[in-house]
Amino acid sequence: MQRLHARYPFLEAARESVASQTVDLATVVEQDQAVVDRAHERVVAALEAGDTGEPHRDTRTELLSYPVARVLVSLVNERILVRKYARAEAEDAFERFTSDFEETVELKSASNDGLSLETLLSEFDLENAVREVSDGYRIDVGTYLPLAADCWGDEWRLVNRALADGEVPIDERELHVLVQEAVRERVEDGLPFDVPDPIAQALTEDVEDIREVLANLELTREIDTVVPDLFPPCMKALLDSIQKGEHLAHHSRFAITAFLTSIGMSTDEIVELYRVNSSFGEEMTRYQTDHIRGDSSPTEYSAPSCATMQSYGDCVNKDDLCERIAHPMAYYENRLDDEDEDDLEDWREATEGEGKGESEA
């Protein structure tokens, strides 16, 4: 079993590697606790942090934890878990393959841990649909549309692309994002599936624990308290940029909007918040917010993880708490828990009070 397969367990070669070892999953879940523990960690981390946790040092354990994690996701059988797990695997894959692509040819030749863009495109049958040109890449429109369908932001809409000769122009980072979507689709494909009783029985405790984590997550999604002073530094900075009327990149708008919906702000409240911004457009802001919330899309989006915020350059002004958490929502929940509930003043109530006072005056 190669370390490359452990780093990219969704590869067809990784699946074949497991099959060639005639691995019996029933035996693994009954006798190899390290694999089960790592699989459990993959799923819980996907829920709590938006990634799959720290890779295990043992290649075999890391690789086998992937099919066992898929078994756990199938046994829990909750759509939200399927989505979050697939996105977490794709997020980690994105970080790894973009790092691999930056490595020099010399370093790649010295290790079998890296993955080339050509290999990854071939993995998803994209090598004939994507071609490199002088200013980036061009991708067949028929391939582009399904991969870009779940990408957030106006720039992904076909109407905003210079479509020519059945091809859509994209830059290097956009190509990487589309490959990430291909990974997510593959991970999500077939989930959940039927699990044989012996395997299900051996994983009963792990499944119950994941259900409890999911239940707690559902409770945290009921947060309906907006206290900007307690926001994580990254979200404070983005909110400050909005209020100053500064232009935000699409990924930044997505991050702060997803965060605000997660803490209970309504679409109307978020639209009103953006109104002072120079790039404000009410119809588009409302559409984007409803899309993130899941009102006009099949997916309810959560705020990006700290790792994603960092990759986009939105992770700023880190403090001590940032060093101990992996997600902006976890930061905010920690700050709320540390405060006396009686001392918390919801920003929306304060704003309403100011408005009422002005109207009475």
CA–CA separation, 165 and 85 (whole Å)? 37
Under DSSP, the state recorded for 302 is P
Query: Is the four-CA dihedral 172, 174, 175, 180 of positive or negative sign?
Result: positive
Residue 324: CB atoms within 10 A of its CB come to 10
- What pLDDT score was predicted for residue 256? 93
Q: What is the pLDDT, as a whole number, of residue 298?
A: 64
Report the pLDDT value the prediction gives residue 353, as an integer from 0 to 100.
53
- Bigger pLDDT: 247 or 144? 144
Stretch among 38-47, 134-143, 312-321 having the lowest mean pLDDT: 312-321
Q: Give the residue carrying structure tokens 């006798």.
A: 31
C-alpha closest to that of 138 among 125, 147, 146, 128? 128
Q: Token pair for residue 39?
A: 């699989």
pLDDT band at 161 (very low <50, low <70, confident <90, very high): very high
CA 119, distance to chain mean position in Å, is: 23
Count helices and strands in the chain by DSSP H and E runs: 19, 3
Tokens of 213: 């984590």
Give the pLDDT of residue 178: 96
pLDDT of 222 above 70: no
Average pLDDT over residues 275-301: 78
Average pLDDT, integer, range 10-18: 92
Burial code (b: 16+ CB inside 10 Å, e: under 16) for 189-210 equals eebbeebeeebeebbeebbeeb
Dist. CA 331–CA 208, nearest whole Å:
26
* Residue 277, token pair as written in the block: 């911004």
CA pair distance 313, 325, nearest whole angstrom: 18
Q: Which of 73-77, 125-129, 207-211, 296-300 has the lowest mean pLDDT?
A: 296-300
The answer on pLDDT for 62 being more than 80 is: yes
Q: How confident is the model at residue 354 (pLDDT cuts 50, 70, 90)?
A: low
Chain-centroid distance of CA 198 in Å reads 32
pLDDT of the residue at 292 = 86
* Residue 154 pLDDT greater than 70, yes or no: yes
Identify the pLDDT of residue 197. Answer: 95
The span from the CA of 31 to the CA of 61, in Å, is 12
What pLDDT does 199 receive? 96
Model confidence at 72: pLDDT above 60 = yes
Residue 297 has pLDDT above 70, yes or no: no
pLDDT of 107: 43
- pLDDT-derived band at 337, boundaries 50, 70, 90: confident
| pLDDT single digits (tens) 247-264 | 888 889 899 999 998 888
pLDDT score at 219: 47
Would you say residue 326 has pLDDT above 70?
A: yes
pLDDT of the residue at 234: 96
pLDDT digits (tens, 9 = 90+) for 176-195: 999 999 999 999 999 999 99
Q: Which residues is 133 bridged to in the sheet?
A: 136
At residue 194, the pLDDT reads 95
CB 120 within 8 A of CB 128: no
Residue type, 101: F
Average pLDDT of every residue of the chain = 86
Q: Which residues lie below 8 Å from residue 345, measured CB to CB, with a gap of 6+?
A: 227
Q: How far apart are CA 166 and CA 131, in angstroms?
A: 13
pLDDT in tens, 89-133: 999 999 999 999 887 444 444 355 678 999 999 999 999 999 999
pLDDT for 169: 96
Residue 149, token pair as written in the block: 């369908």
